[in-house]
Structure 1
């Protein structure tokens, strides 16, 4: 048995990053499990629900909120590996190995750090032996258990974005939260125009927020 782990929402300007771990035998997973980006939204939700309902599958989720992402004493690579480690600790059993979608340019470094952070959280590791961790770029595409984790993470992230959207009913939606989404950028501009600052759901350290705040300040100076 092994645990696959992946994250969703590393790059958006709104909302949390969500990491998910799935413990399962590959043979019992749906045949169409894949990288979440290659699975239709409705099917992603159905797969995630099925995985959560099965007694022979373990699912664990960890979130990294905007406040943590904005902290000056960290970086996204560290937040990603720590988030994945938290999710793994919620699913791992003694003797399991771990396969991760690498969140670093160096697969070896990511695997090494992930193993260290998992051991840190379980007092050595779940089995008392050296933890077997592999990390690969594209593991969510070629490993079904990592693909399942990517789907669970994406569905959980989408659910959080729906909650965030509901928190701002007077605006025309918050969009996907990604900087390239025109709905997201419009929401940020309108919110800043109304409140003079970005909303709590925003990663204020992202350049998108910096640009929106700077544009609003310049507009105010021009009006003056």
Structure 2
């Protein structure tokens, strides 16, 4: 048995990063399982629900929140390892093989660090897991069905969190996808800052998108003065 792990939401300016670990026999998974980016949203939700309901599959979802992401003493590679390790530690068992979608330019370095985070008793809150073998590869969510399953659950979980954020701000015209390139997301941040003088608590204030919105609001105030 082995564990596939992947994450969703490294790049957005809104909401947490979500990591998912799936422990399963790859041969038992549906043929529809694939990299989440290649599966339609409705089908992703159906697959994620089926995985969670399958007694032969163990699924764990972990988050890395905005406060943690904004901390000055960390970086996205470390946060990705941390999130993946949190999920893995909840489902992995001794001697399992872990396959991760590498979140680092060096696959070997990512695998080594993930194993350290999974096996070290001093890290995270879930119990460590001894004796695991860890592999990491770029594009593992495309080439490995269990990692693909993890990518689907992570994407569905991340989308649900964005939907909850959207529902928390009914006075605005939606928050969009949460990605900096999304005009709806940028408009939401701009309007929220104009109303409140700061970015919302769900925003990653260390992202340049937030800095730009704050700077624009400040300049607008100076122009009016």
Partner of 2:48: 48
Distance 1:32 1:142 in 2: 13
Partner of 2:64: 64
**Is 1:115 aligned to residue 115 of structure 2?**
yes
Distance 1:122 1:194 in 2: 43
Are the aligned partners of 1:102 and 1:139 in contact in 2 as well (CA < 8 Å)? yes
Structure 1 length as normaliser, TM-score?
0.97
Deviations 1:69-90 (A, max 9, x none): 0001111110100110010001
Distance 1:87 1:110 in 2: 16
Distance 2:94 2:156 in 1: 28
Structure 1 unmatched runs, 5+: none
Are the aligned partners of 1:118 and 1:125 in contact in 2 as well (CA < 8 Å)? yes
RMSD: 1.3
Identify the range of structure 1 (91-100 vs 132-141) with the bigger mean alpha-carbon deviation. 91-100
Aligned-pair CA distance for 1:94 = 2.1
Tell me the SS of whatever aligns to 2:6.
strand
Where do residues 62-141 of structure 1 align in structure 2 (5 Å cutoff)?
62-121=62-121, 126=129, 128-129=130-131, 131-141=132-142
Tell me the SS of whatever aligns to 2:91.
coil
Structure 2 length as normaliser, TM-score?
0.96
Where do residues 1-224 of structure 1 align in structure 2 (5 Å cutoff)?
1-121=1-121, 126=129, 128-129=130-131, 131-224=132-225
Distance 1:93 1:53 in 2: 20
Distance 1:204 1:15 in 2: 11
